């Protein structure tokens, strides 16, 4: 989303193929297109979506994606429970969200159609695999009559394509069995859509070559399916033309496509490299955080230790042990794991060791909807421990922003000798966007100074500015000392039950964390810097929807502004004053209202909450409607 | 090292706060006594504990130390040892800390074979919380939380460790200073996770729990001291032995139809024998010493070998190169 300022602020106007009268002229130009791939969870829709995303990024579009997959790895084939979707918005202008609704829906079976059809607007493009609409599949999806023949789809532009048959014919020479051939259908569809939207397929070819390096027969089959789909698009007369979505005006530089989890992992690697310390991740697999573990596990040469622990508690405990030993220590998890880690995080607070805890939030409570995003762990991050245990909390706002936030979390953890919580969520974790590669030499250097001088060394003798205690690691002669969970004396760190000392230590730690606000940049207001009718305050993954909605409101001449906080604890010191410049403050959150409680408590501002707890991001239209209402009646 | 260290070098200035008469004093004294013999600089030694009476141990050792949270010491020590294999790491835990709340971490640390020494002080009671039964308390034990007697079948720490694929499993007794010291030295010399159950008397809440094994008047008839390669003989007069009768062990008296040649010879590398000995119950004697010792690569050595291999194959990681991995494109 790194677009120059002049590219911002275009009015929203997008449509899919065949959306207007010009639809059948060659090379029809579109500003932006939203495609949703939907199929059974075994149909490879995530893969098709990710590869189409990569192709679009290379084509120079700005993009945003929203994967939407079930928690079950393979729910019964053909059922609604097993439908997996991937939505992609690619554009010649700046995009902030994956789009409220698709212009094009690809439905690989009746269940995928049924689960997604409500989101397709009238005249939207619907591409289906005709053969998948068998009697058995229709029954599994709960259809009593075939929608392809009963005229219930008349308001859409329906393209019935024999994907299975065409893929089978294309792969006839490979001799693969039906099952293996069936699994190449996604590549056929990808090839077809790549032709339709003039996407270069070379990146997909390269990806397949690397993916199927050890199974040449599958590589050949997938490449054949991809090309067959591409050529089918070209030769069939079903599509009158292909479509062009020109490159966006993008800040010059080198880009790659990145998901939030990948960016988080890379941010940690960059931070440890800057600090010149080994990285240690103690983690227990949990959706949707596991990809961070997977990615870091493949960078052992940095050096990076990844330890798959026996449980969530051991994940964080091992990281604390590694931090004691001088490593850049991490643990990664999602909501339920955060609860399990809470006691150990309290130990890290008390012993003042650097540690970054990443919570890739998912919809709860309990197991909830593990593959859907939510923002309901904010107050847990703030207060979800026993005793007074303040922790800095940083929230990433876009997939690429996860890189900067992960880096910043390590910087703060080591500078202030404290655990830091990094909040992302499933939307960021699996969503992708083009990322302007940072110049790592220009990032703020993370300076780690381990204590070495025994002269006057005391484990809790603090830095006068940051209030950080020294990081004295085993192996350093003369600095032998003991730390632990018991209340300890100021400076010496010896066990102490002195009431006054306990209060001093609690207050000092609180002051240390509050003091981080000194280096938080001033609050940026998008919109009316001097104040106005309404400011929308957000945090985390709602950034894209909020920014797009605010832009749309401003395009209509409304006085609506946007503030998005990255530092949730401590909050920026100027935030209260900035919010007070506005007549109304609206706080949309994917929870029951958590940031709003902090805002009310800290600033006595009577903000308006807007809450969605559906495991789905806000639609831009939902937000603009809510903003309009807030402007009209002030509530 | 400039000068050799002494016991005193390992004593801290902190007041030791166990109850007078607690078995922990004897263990602390013995550990401080043997430490200099290892010739390891104090700065390279780390004691890590959980929660409970035993877990105050690190405060009294003048090395690096970490008094952590209940049950998690093995997990914490794992993170430290994996990333700092150069350190000499000791884990101090108890029967509640190690076998109840922290049972999961204990078994996984043992199977992974992390090269640290786990000292489990077993007093068969919760002391710090003032006298509830523990996972090693016997069925029927009357405590504050079991006024009608415990109905909870206990763990046998030795079989737990053996079952968790530990590579070194031993038992010793707080008051048997020589045996304690020798056992700890063996544990320290072992490469991999060493598990030592130390029978320890809680004179406040469970006094005399191991009287049979510690009372000088009777202990010889109840203790079976295991020595590798030697026949299993015990008794005040060294006249009792362990013989196999079919697949079961039995106690025989030497000279009464049995000679030393009939007795089982202890073999530390025999896992089945270790299990059998660990399961001895009265009237069989209670074995002390090394039940089992075997060699298996340590987790941290294998992991660090992977890091070294990755470095050898790919070179030291370079962040700028890593960021450009995969499909990148340039916008002019």
Q: What is the pLDDT of residue A14?
A: 36
A527 or A11, which is more confident: A527
User: Are A46 and A84 spatial neighbours (Cβ–Cβ below 8 Å)?
Assistant: yes
Question: Chain A to chain B, count of Cβ pairs less than 8 Å apart?
Answer: 212
pLDDT digits (tens, 9 = 90+) for A446-494: 999 999 999 999 999 999 999 999 999 999 999 999 999 999 999 999 9
Residue A8 has pLDDT above 50, yes or no: no
Residue of chain B nearest A210, judged by CA positions: B326
Distance CA A282, CA B112 (A): 15
Look at strands B64-67 and B45-49 and give their pairing.
parallel
Residues of B in contact with A328 (CB under 8 A): none
Closest chain A C-alpha to B301 CA, distance in angstroms: 12
According to DSSP, residue A261 is labeled H
Q: Which of B10, B300, B311, B331 should one mutate to test binding to chain A, selecting the residue with the greatest count of A CBs within 10 A? A: B331
Q: What is the pLDDT of residue A9?
A: 34
User: Would you tell me the crossing angle of helices A260-275 and A401-416 to the nearest 10 degrees?
Assistant: 40
Tell whether omega for the bond before A365 is within 30 degrees of 0, i.e. cis: yes
Q: Which of A330, A474, A486 should one mutate to test binding to chain B, selecting the residue with the greatest count of B CBs within 10 A? A: A474
Distance CA A45, CA A385 (A): 40
Q: What is the DSSP string of A259-306?
A: EHHHHHHHHHHHHHHHHT--EEEEE---TTTHHHHHHHHT-TTTTEEE
Residue A427 has pLDDT above 70, yes or no: yes
Distance CA B289, CA A564 (A): 64
Distance CA A254, CA A419 (A): 33
Percent of chain B clearing pLDDT 90 (strictly above):
96
| Rounded CA Rg of chain B | 23
Q: Any idea of the CA torsion for B185, B186, B192, B196, to the nearest 10 degrees?
A: -80
pLDDT digits (tens, 9 = 90+) for B159-204: 999 999 999 999 999 999 999 999 999 999 999 999 999 999 999 9
**Is B111 near chain A, with CB under 8 Å?**
no
Instruction: List, in order, residues 6 or more apart from A529 with CB less than 8 Å away.
Output: none
Q: Can you tell me whether residue A310 is helix, strand or coil?
A: coil
Residue A12 has pLDDT above 70, yes or no: no
**Is B106 near chain A, with CB under 8 Å?**
no
Distance CA A543, CA A565 (A): 9
Distance CA A64, CA A66 (A): 7
Question: Count of residues for chain B?
Answer: 332
Scanning the structure block, which residue is given the tokens 């050096």?
Answer: A303
Distance CA A81, CA A427 (A): 20
User: Are A283 and A307 spatial neighbours (Cβ–Cβ below 8 Å)?
Assistant: yes
Distance CA A35, CA A102 (A): 5
For chain A, the average pLDDT equals 93
Q: Which residue, among B221, B174, B192, has the nearest Cα to B298 in the 3D structure?
A: B192
The token pair at B148 is 């009608």
Please name the residue ranges forming H helices in B4-155. Answer: 24-34, 73-83, 95-96, 103-112
User: Are A582 and A396 spatial neighbours (Cβ–Cβ below 8 Å)?
Assistant: no
Choose the closest CB to B329 out of A255, A300, A351.
A255
Look at strands A567-569 and A393-395 and give their pairing.
antiparallel
Choose the closest CB to B319 out of A270, A307, A482.
A270
Q: What is the pLDDT of residue B329?
A: 87
According to DSSP, residue B224 is labeled E
Choose the closest CB to B76 out of A321, A473, A494.
A321
Any idea which of A244-253, A395-404, A612-621, B95-104 has the lowest mean pLDDT? A244-253
Cβ distance A484 to B104 less than 8 Å, yes or no, reads: no
**Is B128 near chain A, with CB under 8 Å?**
no
| pTM of the predicted structure, to 2 decimals | 0.93
Beta strands in A392-465 (DSSP E): 393-395, 419-425, 432-436
Q: What is the pLDDT of residue A70?
A: 82
pLDDT digits (tens, 9 = 90+) for B201-250: 999 999 999 999 999 999 999 999 999 999 999 999 999 999 999 999 99
Q: Which residue, among A68, A144, A473, has the nearest Cα to A280 in the 3D structure?
A: A473
| End-to-end Cα, chain B, rounded Å | 61
A 10 A CB-CB count for A450 gives 13
Instruction: List, in order, residues 6 or more apart from A9 with CB less than 8 Å away.
Output: A551, A554, A555
**Is B324 near chain A, with CB under 8 Å?**
yes
What is the average pLDDT across A423-429?
A: 96
Cβ distance A269 to B317 less than 8 Å, yes or no, reads: yes
Interface of A with B in 19-58 (CB under 8 A): 54, 57-58
User: Are A288 and A468 spatial neighbours (Cβ–Cβ below 8 Å)?
Assistant: no
Q: In what order do the strands lie in the sheet with A253-259?
A: A432-436, A253-259, B328-331
The token pair at A155 is 């308001």
Look at strands B328-331 and A253-259 and give their pairing.
antiparallel
Distance CA A455, CA B35 (A): 25
Q: Any idea of the CA torsion for B45, B50, B51, B54, to the nearest 10 degrees?
A: -50
The token pair at A129 is 């695999």
Q: Which residue, among A357, A353, A356, has the nearest Cα to A377 in the 3D structure?
A: A357
Q: What is the pLDDT of residue B302?
A: 98
Interface of B with A in 26-85 (CB under 8 A): 41-46, 48, 51, 58-59, 61-69, 72, 75-84
Residue A75 has pLDDT above 50, yes or no: yes
* Confidence bin at B326 (pLDDT 50/70/90): confident
According to DSSP, residue B14 is labeled S
Distance CA A86, CA B175 (A): 68
Residues of A in contact with B45 (CB under 8 A): 474
Residue B39 has pLDDT above 80, yes or no: yes
User: Are A446 and A411 spatial neighbours (Cβ–Cβ below 8 Å)?
Assistant: yes
Q: What is the pLDDT of residue A20?
A: 32
User: Are A91 and A63 spatial neighbours (Cβ–Cβ below 8 Å)?
Assistant: yes
Distance CA A374, CA A362 (A): 5
What is the average pLDDT across A396-410?
A: 98
User: Are B101 and B70 spatial neighbours (Cβ–Cβ below 8 Å)?
Assistant: yes
- How high is the ipTM of this complex? 0.98
Burial (Cβ within 10 Å: 0-12, 13-18, ≥19) of residue A632: exposed
pLDDT digits (tens, 9 = 90+) for A113-150: 999 999 999 999 999 999 999 999 999 999 999 999 99
Over the range A247-275, which residues count as b (16 or more CB within 10 Å of their CB) and which as e?
A: ebbbeeeebbbbbbbbbbbbbbbbbbbbb
Q: In what order do the strands lie in the sheet with A534-539?
A: A560-565, A534-539, A584-589, A608-611
Residue A17 has pLDDT above 50, yes or no: no
pLDDT digits (tens, 9 = 90+) for B105-141: 999 999 999 999 999 999 999 999 999 999 999 999 9
Q: Which helix (H) or strand (E) holds B309?
A: helix B299-314
User: Are A31 and A101 spatial neighbours (Cβ–Cβ below 8 Å)?
Assistant: no
Instruction: List, in order, residues 6 or more apart from A260 with CB less than 8 Å away.
Output: A360, A396, A398, A399, A402, A424, A427, A428, A429, A430, A431
Residue A18 has pLDDT above 80, yes or no: no
Cβ distance A256 to B323 less than 8 Å, yes or no, reads: yes
pLDDT digits (tens, 9 = 90+) for A288-328: 999 999 999 999 999 999 999 999 999 999 999 999 999 99
Residue A570 has pLDDT above 80, yes or no: yes
Q: What is the pLDDT of residue A26?
A: 59
Name the phi and psi angles at A609, rounded to 5. -95, 150
Q: What is the pLDDT of residue B3?
A: 73
Question: Count of residues for chain A?
Answer: 635
Residues of A in contact with B76 (CB under 8 A): 317-318, 320-321, 324
What is the average pLDDT across A606-622?
A: 97
| Rounded CA Rg of chain A | 26
Distance CA A506, CA A518 (A): 20
What is the average pLDDT across A180-194?
A: 96
Q: Can you tell me whether residue A307 is helix, strand or coil?
A: strand
* Confidence bin at A69 (pLDDT 50/70/90): confident
Q: Any idea of the CA torsion for A441, A443, A444, A446, to the nearest 10 degrees?
A: -70
Please name the residue ranges forming H helices in A117-201. Answer: 135-140, 163-170, 178-182, 185-196
User: Are A323 and A354 spatial neighbours (Cβ–Cβ below 8 Å)?
Assistant: yes
A 10 A CB-CB count for B295 gives 12
What is the average pLDDT across A176-196?
A: 95
Closest chain A C-alpha to B200 CA, distance in angstroms: 24
The token pair at A435 is 């990322």
Over the range B131-158, which residues count as b (16 or more CB within 10 Å of their CB) and which as e?
A: bbbbbbbeeebebeebeeebebebbbbb
Q: What is the pLDDT of residue B2?
A: 54
User: Are A290 and A362 spatial neighbours (Cβ–Cβ below 8 Å)?
Assistant: no
Q: What is the pLDDT of residue A27?
A: 78
pLDDT digits (tens, 9 = 90+) for B280-296: 998 999 999 999 999 99
Closest chain B C-alpha to A115 CA, distance in angstroms: 33
């Amino acid at each position: 989303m790194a677009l120059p300022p002049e590219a911002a602020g275009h009015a929203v106007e997008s449509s899919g193929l065949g959306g207007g009268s010009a639809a059948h002229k060659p090379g029809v130009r579109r500003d932006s297109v939203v495609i949703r791939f939907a199929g059974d969870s075994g149909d490879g829709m995530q893969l098709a979506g990710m590869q189409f995303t990569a192709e679009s990024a290379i084509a120079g579009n700005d993009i945003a994606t929203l994967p939407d997959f079930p928690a079950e790895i393979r729910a019964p084939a053909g059922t609604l429970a097993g439908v997996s979707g991937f939505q992609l918005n690619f554009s010649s202008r700046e995009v902030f969200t994956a789009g409220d609704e698709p212009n094009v829906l690809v439905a690989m079976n009746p269940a995928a159609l049924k689960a997604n059809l409500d989101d397709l607007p009238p005249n939207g493009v619907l591409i289906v695999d005709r053969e998948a609409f068998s009697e058995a599949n229709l029954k599994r999806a709960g259809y009593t009559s075939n929608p392809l023949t009963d005229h219930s789809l008349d308001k859409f532009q329906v393209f019935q394509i024999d994907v299975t048959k065409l893929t089978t014919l294309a792969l006839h020479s490979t001799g693969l069995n039906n099952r293996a051939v069936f699994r190449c259908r996604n590549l056929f569809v990808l090839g077809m859509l790549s032709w339709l939207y003039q996407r270069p397929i070379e990146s997909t070819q390269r990806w397949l070559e690397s993916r199927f390096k050890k199974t040449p027969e599958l590589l050949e089959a997938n490449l054949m399916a991809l090309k067959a789909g591409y050529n089918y698009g070209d030769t069939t007369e079903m599509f009158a033309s292909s479509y062009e979505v020109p490159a966006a005006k993008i800040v010059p530089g080198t880009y790659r496509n990145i998901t939030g989890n990948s960016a988080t992992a890379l941010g940690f690697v960059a931070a440890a490299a800057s600090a010149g310390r080994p990285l240690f991740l103690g983690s227990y697999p949990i959706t949707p955080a596991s990809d961070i573990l997977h990615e870091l596990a493949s960078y052992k040469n940095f050096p990076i230790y990844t330890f798959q622990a026996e449980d969530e508690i051991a994940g964080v405990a091992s990281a604390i042990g590694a931090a004691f030993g001088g490593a850049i220590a991490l643990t990664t998890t999602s909501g339920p794991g955060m609860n399990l880690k809470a006691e150990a995080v309290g130990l890290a607070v008390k012993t003042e060791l650097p540690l970054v805890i990443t919570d890739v939030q998912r919809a709860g409570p309990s197991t909830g909807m593990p593959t859907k995003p939510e923002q309901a762990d904010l107050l847990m991050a703030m207060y979800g421990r026993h005793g007074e245990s303040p922790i800095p909390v940083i929230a990433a706002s876009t997939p690429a922003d996860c890189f900067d936030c992960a880096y910043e979390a390590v910087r703060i953890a080591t500078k202030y000798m404290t655990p830091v919580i990094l909040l992302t969520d499933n939307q960021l974790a699996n969503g992708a966007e083009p990322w302007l590669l940072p110049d790592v030499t220009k990032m703020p250097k993370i300076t780690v100074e381990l204590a070495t001088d025994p002269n006057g060394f005391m484990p809790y003798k603090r830095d006068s500015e940051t209030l950080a205690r020294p990081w004295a690691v085993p192996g350093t002669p003369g600095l032998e000392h003991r730390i632990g969970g018991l209340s300890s004396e100021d400076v010496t760190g010896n066990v102490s039950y002195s009431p006054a000392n306990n209060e001093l230590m609690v207050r000092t730690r609180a002051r240390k964390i509050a003091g981080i606000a000194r280096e938080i940049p001033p609050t940026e207001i998008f919109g009316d810097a001097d104040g106005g009718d309404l400011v929308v305050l957000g945090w985390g993954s709602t950034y894209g929807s909020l920014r797009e909605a605010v832009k749309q409101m401003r395009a209509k001449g409304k006085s609506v502004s946007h503030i998005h906080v990255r530092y949730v604890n401590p909050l920026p010191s100027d935030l209260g004053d900035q919010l007070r410049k506005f007549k109304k403050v609206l706080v949309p959150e994917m929870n029951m209202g958590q940031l709003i409680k902090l805002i009310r408590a800290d600033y006595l501002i009577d903000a308006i909450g807007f809450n969605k707890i559906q495991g789905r991001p806000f639609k831009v239209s939902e937000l603009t409607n809510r903003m309009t209402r807030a402007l009209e009646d002030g509530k | 090292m400039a000068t050799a260290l002494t016991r005193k070098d390992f004593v801290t200035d902190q007041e030791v706060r166990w109850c007078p008469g607690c078995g922990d004093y004897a263990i602390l004294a013995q550990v401080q006594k043997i430490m200099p013999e290892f010739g390891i600089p104090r700065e390279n030694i780390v004691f890590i504990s959980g929660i409970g009476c035993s877990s105050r141990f690190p405060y009294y050792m003048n090395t690096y130390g970490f008094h952590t949270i209940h049950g998690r010491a093995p997990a914490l020590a794992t993170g430290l040892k994996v990333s700092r294999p150069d350190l000499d790491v000791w884990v101090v835990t108890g029967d509640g800390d190690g076998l109840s709340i922290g049972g999961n971490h204990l078994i996984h640390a043992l199977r992974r074979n992390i090269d640290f020494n786990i000292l489990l002080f077993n007093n068969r009671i919760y002391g710090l919380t003032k006298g509830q039964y523990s996972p090693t308390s016997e069925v029927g034990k009357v405590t504050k939380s079991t006024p009608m007697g415990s109905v909870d079948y206990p763990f046998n720490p030795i079989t737990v460790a053996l079952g968790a694929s530990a590579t070194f499993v031993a038992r010793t007794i707080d008051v048997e200073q020589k045996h304690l010291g020798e056992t700890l030295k063996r544990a320290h010399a072992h490469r991999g996770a060493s598990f030592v159950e130390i029978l320890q008397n809680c004179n406040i809440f469970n006094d005399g729990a191991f009287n049979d094994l510690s009372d000088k008047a009777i202990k010889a008839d109840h203790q079976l001291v295991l020595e590798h390669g030697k026949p299993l003989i015990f008794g005040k007069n060294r006249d009792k032995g362990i013989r196999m009768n079919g697949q079961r062990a039995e106690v025989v008296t030497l000279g009464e139809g049995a000679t030393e040649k009939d007795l089982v010879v202890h073999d530390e590398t025999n896992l089945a024998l270790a299990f059998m000995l660990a399961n001895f119950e009265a009237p069989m004697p209670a074995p002390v010493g090394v039940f089992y010792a075997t060699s298996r690569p340590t987790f941290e050595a294998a992991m660090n070998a992977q890091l070294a291999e990755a470095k050898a194959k790919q070179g030291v990681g370079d962040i700028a190169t890593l960021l450009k991995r995969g499909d990148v494109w340039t916008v002019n």
